[in-house]
Structure 1
Amino acid sequence: MLKTKIKEYRLAFDLSQTDLAERVGVRRETIGHLENGRYNPSLKLAMDIARIFQVTVEELFEFEDE
């Protein structure tokens, strides 16, 4: 299972889901699905989001064994 810290970083950077979605070129719903663990991002999307928050992909996403 993929766990993400997107919401934590997004709130720390004072961004709405819509703001973040626009910056990385996806729909707001995609960000919501990512935050709720219902969507696994492409490597490019993961890297684009990490770049916005100036963190590594590993800091932003974590895989857990189910």
Structure 2
Amino acid sequence: MGYKRSENKIYICVRPDSSHDRIIQSCKNLGLDFAISLDGGGSSSIKVDGSVKVSGDGRPVNNYLYVK
């Protein structure tokens, strides 16, 4: 889910099997000013400045906060 100021619109996107890099590229491609990707459960983790700070249970991580 993201926001694009120039259009004053909220975007809701669905994509299976994403990665951190793919989420960031999608936000850039859409020109979003900020976005948050949500996925609950054991796959949740935190990645800051390219380093995973809190790891999940090994499933693909699909959470991300993006700020342009």
TM-score (norm 2): 0.31
Q: Which has the higher strand share?
A: 2
TM-score (norm 1): 0.32
Q: Which has the higher helix share?
A: 1
Question: Which protein shows a greater Rg?
Answer: 2
Higher relative contact order (CA 8 A, sep 6+): 1
